[in-house]
Structure 1
Amino acid sequence: MPDATDRRILRQYLADPDQPMTELAERAGVTQATLWRRLDKMRQSGVIRGQTVQIDWRRMGYEVEVSLRFTLDKSSPRAFDDFTEAAREVPEVIEIQTFLGSVDFRLSVIARDMAHWQQIYRSRILTLPHVETSDALMLVTTVKHSDALPL
């Protein structure tokens, strides 16, 4: 379990992952050797699972985001597997989540514009297998988004 020093390192690392390690060590209040040792320990224990690149899809020309909620017809034992497999094949699906309750799946789908959304919806979304009901919510604005933990 990470201690207070590890959490301080993680807070500073998350705040600016591109900062030089010398600066990170200074901001976290540890030596560079301690920083390297603790980061290595957190990587090996799975606390830090790697580094990722985040691409701003809006800057890549995608202006529309739609959240789709699905309830599946569960009469087929493969309904969840078939739906998941088909949804993964849609390049514009950027997130797939499953739920317990009245909604089985939520997909986040991006499109360049409304005409592109309509094309994706008609050719890819409506053909997803085992759908009993669906509901679409178009994103207007994101009020808060954070990947940071309350460290």
Structure 2
Amino acid sequence: MLNDVDRRILRLLQADPAITVPDLAHETGLTSARITRRLDRLREDRIIQGSHVTIHWPALGYAVSVSLRITLDKTVARAFDEFIAAARAVPEVIEIQTFLGRVDVRLSLIAKNLSDYQRIYREEVLTLPHIADIEALMTVASVKSDESLPL
């Protein structure tokens, strides 16, 4: 499993995903070759699963963020699969989560403004298959958004 050095590497990567191998080596007291081997092992073990860029949507003109809690019609055998496939095709949907319980799916979507959201809702969301119930929650403020783990 993970040892203290692996955890330190992961903490450093969480704090600065663009940190270079030489800088990781300096911060951990290891050689660049040893850091590279550890990173390769962490990737092979799927502890590190790639890297990504986080885009600040408001800077691109997306001022509205909405969370849609959706209950599907469970009388249709393939309702879940067909709904998910159709929801993936909506460009403004930036996240899809599934749940056990009364709510089956949560869609997070972005829009440029309220009229753009209304268009997306009417033309894209309401045409998704097998919706039995839908509840929209408009984001007022994002208080915490952090995927870092307490390593």
Q: What's the TM-score once normalised by structure 1's chain length? A: 0.96
Q: CA RMSD in A?
A: 1.0
State the Cα deviation string for residues 21-72 of structure 1 (Å, max 9, x = none).
2112222332222211111111112111111122221111111000000111
Conserved? CA contact 1:70–1:134, under 8 Å: yes
Structure 2 CA distance for aligned equivalents of residues 40 and 64 of structure 1: 39
What residue is the counterpart of 2:150 in the other structure? 150
Conserved? CA contact 1:12–1:28, under 8 Å: no
Q: After TM superposition, which residue ranges in structure 1, 4 or more long, deviate above 3 angstroms?
A: none
The percent identity for this pair of structures is 54
What residue is the counterpart of 1:127 in the other structure? 127
Letter in 2 for 1:107: L
State the Cα deviation string for residues 106-144 of structure 1 (Å, max 9, x = none).
000100000100100111111111111110000011111
Q: Which moved more, 1:21-30 or 1:116-125?
A: 21-30
What residue is the counterpart of 2:39 in the other structure? 39
What residue is the counterpart of 2:64 in the other structure? 64
Letter in 2 for 1:105: V
Letter in 1 for 2:74: K
Structure 2 CA distance for aligned equivalents of residues 65 and 100 of structure 1: 24
Structure 2 CA distance for aligned equivalents of residues 95 and 106 of structure 1: 8
What SS does structure 2 have at the residue aligned with 1:70? strand
1:92 Cα offset (Å): 0.1
Conserved? CA contact 1:93–1:109, under 8 Å: yes
Structure 2 CA distance for aligned equivalents of residues 38 and 113 of structure 1: 45
Letter in 1 for 2:31: T
Instruction: Indicate whether 1:7 and 2:7 are aligned.
Output: yes
Q: What's the TM-score once normalised by structure 2's chain length? A: 0.96
Structure 2 CA distance for aligned equivalents of residues 72 and 20 of structure 1: 46
Stretches of structure 2 lacking an aligned partner (at least 5 in a row) = none
Stretches of structure 1 lacking an aligned partner (at least 5 in a row) = none
